[in-house]
């Protein structure tokens, strides 16, 4: 998935702000929503055309104009960017562990709930042992680093 430039992201922000039931917006409506940027109509039209070519927006003919709407939600786009980043090389496991260690407690709770739902776990009650690890249906909330401990490996992974 292609990363977006500043102007493309601003245009997508306008589209992502549309209600889910919207039938889309015209180039003029997007240009008006970007009023602080002083952009020419043709500039906005070119950006929308390029976003359509990248598969980021869908468009539908309305008379002589096009109506544009996002092809996917902002959340779907961000999730795809994260998956693409994992494909950049190196160890996916190590990258996931580093990510898991960097999230806040609330974010970790959201991830646990999503992973639990994905795994089909319905038992939300759990028990916490002396180490602070919560056990639910045979799953623990602790993320173990799959790499052996040692400065040489950690140093190589940090590069």
Q: Which CATH number fits domain 6-70: 1.10.10.10, 3.40.50.10540, 2.40.160.20, 3.40.50.300?
A: 1.10.10.10
The pLDDT assigned to 73 comes to: 93
Is residue 148 pLDDT above 70, yes or no? no
Is residue 45 pLDDT above 90, yes or no? yes
| Cα 3 to Cα 6, 77, 85, 116, distances in angstroms | 10, 9, 11, 30
The pLDDT assigned to 88 comes to: 87
The pLDDT assigned to 89 comes to: 77
CB contact burial 60-90 (16+ within 10 A = b; e otherwise): eeeeeebbbbbbbeeeebeeeeeeeeeeeee
Domain span(s) for CATH 1.10.10.10 in the chain: 6-70
The pLDDT assigned to 121 comes to: 59
Q: 0.85 exceeded by the pTM?
A: no
> What confidence tier does 159 reach under pLDDT thresholds 50, 70, 90?
very low
Is residue 28 pLDDT above 70, yes or no? yes
Pick the residue with more confidence: 62 or 153? Answer: 62
> What confidence tier does 103 reach under pLDDT thresholds 50, 70, 90?
confident
């Amino acid at each position: 998935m292609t990363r977006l430039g500043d102007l493309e992201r601003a245009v997508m922000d306008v589209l992502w702000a549309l209600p889910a039931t919207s039938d889309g917006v015209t180039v003029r409506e997007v240009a008006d929503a970007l009023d602080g940027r002083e952009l020419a109509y043709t500039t906005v039209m070119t950006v929308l055309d390029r976003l359509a070519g990248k598969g980021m927006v869908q468009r539908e003919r309305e008379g002589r104009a096009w109506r544009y709407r996002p092809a996917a939600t902002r959340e779907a786009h961000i999730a795809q960017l994260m998956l693409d980043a994992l494909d950049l090389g190196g160890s996916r496991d190590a990258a996931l562990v580093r990510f898991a260690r960097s999230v806040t407690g609330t974010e970790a709770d959201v991830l646990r709930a999503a992973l639990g739902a994905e795994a089909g776990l319905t038992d939300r009650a759990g028990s916490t042992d002396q180490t602070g690890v919560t056990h639910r249906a045979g799953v623990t909330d602790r993320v173990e680093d799959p790499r052996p401990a040692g400065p040489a490996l950690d140093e190589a992974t940090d590069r």
